[in-house]
A = this chain, B = another copy of it.
Amino acid sequence: MIISDRMYALGSARSVIRELFEYGKMRAAQVGAENIYDYSLGNPAVPSPDSVNRTIEDILDNEPSIAVHGYTSAQGDAGVRQAIADDLNKRFGTAFGKDDLYMTCGAAAALTICFGALVTPECNEVIAIAPYFPEYGVFAGNAGGRLVEVPADTKAFQIDLKALEAAIGPKTRAVIINSPNNPSGAVYSEETIIKLAALLDRKSAELGHAIVLISDEPYREVVYDGLDVPYVTKYYKNTLVCYSYSKSLSLPGERIGYVLVPQEVEDHDKVYAAVCGAGRSLGFVCAPSLMQKVVGRVTGQTSDISRYKKNRDLLYGGLKEIGYECVKPQGAFYLFLKILGDDTEAFCERAKSLDLLVVSGMGFGCTGYVRLAYCVSEDMIKRSLPVFKKLYDSYR
């Protein structure tokens, strides 16, 4: 049978994270779940706020089935888009309108739509700042784009601006950032964003075409210690925002998010039309209707983020006490641990032999580190610390 080589390769390649997760389930059956320390998956462990299910029930009770489950307009229900714009404007002092928003089936769809709208054969490079979400390369490839990697600033996991400048060239179409960051847990400071904007402005002028900044921010609300996450569109006008409610409302399975094209974006209406066209081409018109209506009502609310903070403090404190090195996560629910020894894969394997499941930084473009997803139970973290100690001692 003739099939697409690219799609076959993508479908048959084993996902390292998914495989670790399956291994963990297998081991749990063998030795008991209490003896497995699974930090592999970024699946929120904190339930959605009650308001989510209450809102679903209220909608089912009070709106006709045809309206609840029927088609919305291709770009999403107008009232929902207005409610989201109003909430953003209230929180960030912005001035978005409903016609700046395109509702999507989650963040993955938002990204494939943006790449589809922006990438052209002549201008097909998308720059990602390591460490970054591995699927960026897949999604850029779907639009015929090529991912260009900027090495990590491993001091603070901000942006190595010199390296970024060196990576920008005539084929640069967009730069994608993700703050709070998966996998480092870093939040880009206002200083970083200001310098990034200045660099992109200067390079856009030099190249003679605007470089688009894609801000992928599903973790925007998952942030600790009252830290402020700068709203990127206020610093760089050619910014598109990709958002998902997966993490803030613990709804990863429901596939609901949006693309935001602010009015300040050059040729706004054309860019928004291209976003609509990409959604249509990919088969993504009309995001799931009931969930559109739900997020329209609860947008801005979050799950109980304090539980992730408690986990962060427990895990970070425990690991530092043992002697591990890592930058303190400021947001998201990941901790990026510096490995012991100099072989990342060997470190992961040795951890795995202790039933401690951590993900190699290699897939994130950053060897020498492993990712710990701490969206898990507090109890598991407590039980895992002596095992981390054992792993540490084995390297002495």
A residues in contact (CB < 8 Å) with B: 1-12, 18, 41, 43-45, 47-48, 52-53, 56-57, 60, 64-66, 68-72, 74, 105-106, 108-113, 116-120, 122-123, 135, 138-139, 141-143, 173, 209-210, 212, 238, 250-256, 265-267, 270-292
Residues in B with CB closer than 8 Å to A277 are: 4, 6-12
Task: Output the nearest chain B residue to A285 by Cβ-Cβ distance.
Answer: B108
25 A-B pairs whose Cβ atoms sit less than 8 Å apart in the complex = A1-B238, A1-B266, A1-B267, A1-B270, A4-B119, A6-B277, A7-B116, A7-B117, A7-B281, A8-B270, A10-B280, A11-B274, A56-B60, A69-B253, A69-B254, A105-B283, A108-B284, A112-B281, A112-B282, A113-B283, A139-B283, A252-B286, A253-B292, A254-B289, A255-B289
Contact between B12 and A273 (Cβ–Cβ < 8 Å)?
A: yes
Copies of this polypeptide in the complex: 2
Residues in B with CB closer than 8 Å to A6 are: 277, 281
Contact of A48 among B9, B48, B69, B279 (CB under 8 A): B69
Min CB distance A40 to B, Å, is 12
Contact between B118 and A252 (Cβ–Cβ < 8 Å)?
A: no
Closest 5 CB pairs of A and B: A253-B289, A11-B277, A10-B277, A108-B283, A11-B276
Bound complex: CA A216 to CA B117 (Å): 27
Q: A266-B1, A281-B138 are in contact. Are A273 and B64 (CB under 8 A)?
A: no
Residues in B with CB closer than 8 Å to A12 are: 270, 273, 276-277
Residues in B with CB closer than 8 Å to A291 are: 288, 290
Contact between A288 and B253 (Cβ–Cβ < 8 Å)?
A: yes
Task: Output the nearest chain B residue to A142 by Cβ-Cβ distance.
Answer: B281
Contact between B2 and A109 (Cβ–Cβ < 8 Å)?
A: no
Residues in B with CB closer than 8 Å to A116 are: 4, 7
Bound complex: CA A267 to CA B56 (Å): 43
Contact between A7 and B278 (Cβ–Cβ < 8 Å)?
A: yes
Contact of A66 among B41, B45, B72, B280 (CB under 8 A): B45
Task: Output the nearest chain B residue to A11 by Cβ-Cβ distance.
Answer: B277
Other contacts beyond A4-B116, A66-B250, A255-B288: 5, CB < 8 A: A1-B209, A2-B173, A7-B274, A11-B280, A69-B254
Residues in B with CB closer than 8 Å to A122 are: 2
Task: Output the nearest chain B residue to A249 by Cβ-Cβ distance.
Answer: B69
Contact between B252 and A69 (Cβ–Cβ < 8 Å)?
A: yes
Contact between A111 and B71 (Cβ–Cβ < 8 Å)?
A: no
Q: Of A74, A253, A272, which is in contact with the most chain B CB atoms at under 10 Å from its CB?
A: A253
Q: A4-B116, A48-B65, A69-B252 are in contact. Are A11 and B278 (CB under 8 A)?
A: yes
Contact between A287 and B4 (Cβ–Cβ < 8 Å)?
A: no
Residues in B with CB closer than 8 Å to A276 are: 10-12
Residues in B with CB closer than 8 Å to A11 are: 117, 272-280
Bound complex: CA A2 to CA B210 (Å): 8
Contact between A141 and B105 (Cβ–Cβ < 8 Å)?
A: no
Task: Output the nearest chain B residue to A303 by Cβ-Cβ distance.
Answer: B65
Min CB distance A108 to B, Å, is 4
Contact between A10 and B250 (Cβ–Cβ < 8 Å)?
A: no
Contact between B290 and A254 (Cβ–Cβ < 8 Å)?
A: yes
Residues in B with CB closer than 8 Å to A286 are: 252-253, 255
Residues in B with CB closer than 8 Å to A64 are: 47
Residues in B with CB closer than 8 Å to A2 are: 118, 120, 122-123, 173, 209-210
